[in-house]
């Protein structure tokens, strides 16, 4: 039996502009600019294993039926598309908190797809791989090749890809204790009250040559689900206000629909210090990282 382990990076939305218009599927139109982080889950794939369906083990365990797990769905979608037999064991070491807006389960799914492409000798650029990714979730296509990316459509269609940043950008991440904000609830609240989206063009321009600094990126952050998350869960707003008031934080916002707040920092040492202070002050989960 062959076993391989893969990093499944988390993500941040530097820009998330949700529109009130819906596509033919009933999804909101969206502009999303995402970057990966140098932290995330780990996905280990072993084959051949078991019966002709994937065996999925998550640590810590998740209270989701196997057939609804994004990793299981990704494996089944690619198997059906390519005529492969998904007799594999997939272990996911969860390090990214749920309902954080950091794409943990989407990254796990995409990492599974990349692993199975190696195992089944499928070109990762094959359009069937992206179709399988899109069938699982809107963020999954980004994680197939997690360079800084502008996504369009419902945030599930790759628009432009950019170079990895030449200089590491340190960031502090903090998610308050307790239940998070579900995406479904966030969008329902957005439909009731929301800010208009803005043009992501200036941010895309800054990312294009890979030389953007943390200061430049911090000045161009936008997310019109940020106030929605803060309205739905006051603890998110408390963490956000505190984080943006810390010396060393250049700018920040909620990522995705929450519940994680991030701050771009001047230095990694400052990001580590602020993460420790956040854990002490609010409990919950807080880490320092870099854009990958």
Question: What's the CA gap between 91 and 56, in Å, rounded?
Answer: 6
Residue located via tokens 């995406």 = 183
Distances (CA, A) of 211 to 85, 199, 214, 269, 289: 44, 21, 10, 22, 19
Point out the catalytic residue in the list 31, 41, 139, 226: 139
Question: What's the CA gap between 259 and 261, in Å, rounded?
Answer: 7
By C-alpha distance, which of 176, 186, 147, 143 is closest to 30?
186
Our answer to whether residue 29 is catalytic in this structure is no
Can you name the residues that pair with 34 across neighbouring β-strands?
Answer: 13, 149
Our answer to whether residue 191 is catalytic in this structure is no
Point out the catalytic residue in the list 11, 41, 108, 156: 11
User: What is the SS3 assignment for 151?
Assistant: strand
Could you tell me whether strands 222-223 and 170-175 are parallel, antiparallel, or unpaired per DSSP bridges?
A: unpaired
Kindly list the strands in the beta sheet with 170-175, ordered across the sheet, starting from the edge strand earlier in the chain: 249-254, 261-265, 170-175, 285-290
Give the residue numbers annotated as catalytic, written as ranges. Answer: 11, 139
């Amino acid at each position: 039996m062959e076993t391989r382990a893969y990093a499944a990076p988390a993500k941040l939305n530097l820009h998330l502009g949700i529109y009130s218009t819906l596509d033919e599927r009933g999804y909101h139109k969206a502009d999303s600019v995402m970057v990966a982080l140098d932290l995330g889950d780990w996905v280990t794939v072993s084959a051949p294993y078991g019966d002709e369906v994937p065996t999925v083990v998550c640590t810590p365990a998740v209270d989701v039926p196997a057939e609804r797990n994004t990793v299981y769905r990704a494996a089944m979608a690619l198997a059906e598309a390519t005529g492969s037999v998904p007799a594999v064991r997939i272990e996911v070491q969860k390090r990214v908190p749920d309902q954080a807006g950091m794409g943990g389960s989407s990254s796990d799914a995409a990492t599974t797809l990349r692993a199975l492409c190696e195992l089944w000798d499928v070109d990762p650029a094959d359009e069937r791989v992206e179709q399988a990714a899109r069938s699982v979730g809107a963020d999954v296509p980004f994680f197939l090749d997690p360079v800084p990316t502008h996504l369009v459509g419902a945030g599930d269609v790759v628009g432009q890809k950019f170079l990895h940043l030449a200089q590491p950008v340190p960031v502090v991440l903090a998610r308050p204790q307790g239940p998070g904000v579900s995406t479904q609830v966030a969008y329902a609240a957005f439909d009731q009250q929301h800010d208009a989206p803005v043009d992501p063009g200036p941010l895309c321009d800054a990312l294009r040559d890979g030389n953007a600094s943390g200061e430049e990126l911090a000045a161009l952050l936008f997310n019109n689900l940020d106030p929605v998350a803060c309205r739905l869960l006051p603890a998110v707003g408390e963490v956000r206000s505190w984080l943006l008031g810390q010396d060393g934080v250049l700018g920040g916002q909620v990522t995705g629909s929450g519940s994680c707040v991030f701050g771009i920092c001047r230095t990694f040492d400052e990001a580590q210090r602020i993460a420790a202070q956040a854990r002490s002050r609010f409990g919950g989960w807080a880490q320092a990282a870099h854009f990958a």
